[in-house]
Amino acid sequence: MHFLESIEQIGFVAWVHESPSVLAYPTILLLHVIGMAVVAGGSSVISLRLLGVSPKTAVQPLERLYPLMWGGFWLNAITGTVLLMASASTRLIDPTFYIKMIFIFVGVAVLRLTRSRVFHSLGPDGSLPESAKPLAWAALICWLGAITAGRLLAYI
């Protein structure tokens, strides 16, 4: 526990957690929410299309969302690490944090699988492979689970 408390006392981390400045915790949290919206939102757009929403919309152009989603992911990784360090002594002993991490890691794996198994396996007429719908459901479940677990961390 002493180690976790010492993480919270690192200069920048202590400033983020304790400063009344709007540039500290509120800004880091805002950037984390933006990153989450980009990753979960982009993934949800792709998933909903794969599940049949807006069937006249071509699937292949949605692959352009991947660089944006990866940018959102890395923004979340950085801001999430800072937020975690600011509350290390409480977050790292909370099982909800580990549930959130499992959802995120599986969600990222599903993003990668969707790109390789769906976007790179579209039929010449744009038809979807059989793996499209299960991957779409998995993505929606993972990002919903990660967001829910993240919100529960703030209240438990």
Query: The dihedral of CA 36, 37, 43, 44: what is its sign?
Result: positive
- Mean pLDDT, residues 117-141 taken together: 93
> Does residue 1 have a pLDDT over 80?
no
pLDDT value at residue 71: 98
Residue pLDDT, tens place only, 93-103? 999 999 999 99
Question: 156 is written with which tokens?
Answer: 């438990």
Contact between residue 78 and residue 72 where contact means Cβ atoms under 8 Å apart? no
Q: Domain map of the chain by residue range?
A: 2-155
User: What is the average pLDDT score of the chain?
Assistant: 93
For the record, the structure tokens of 148 come out as 């829910």
Confidence of residue 9 (pLDDT cuts 50, 70, 90): confident
Read off the pLDDT of residues 72-92 as tens digits, 9 standing for 90 and up. Answer: 999 999 999 999 999 888 899
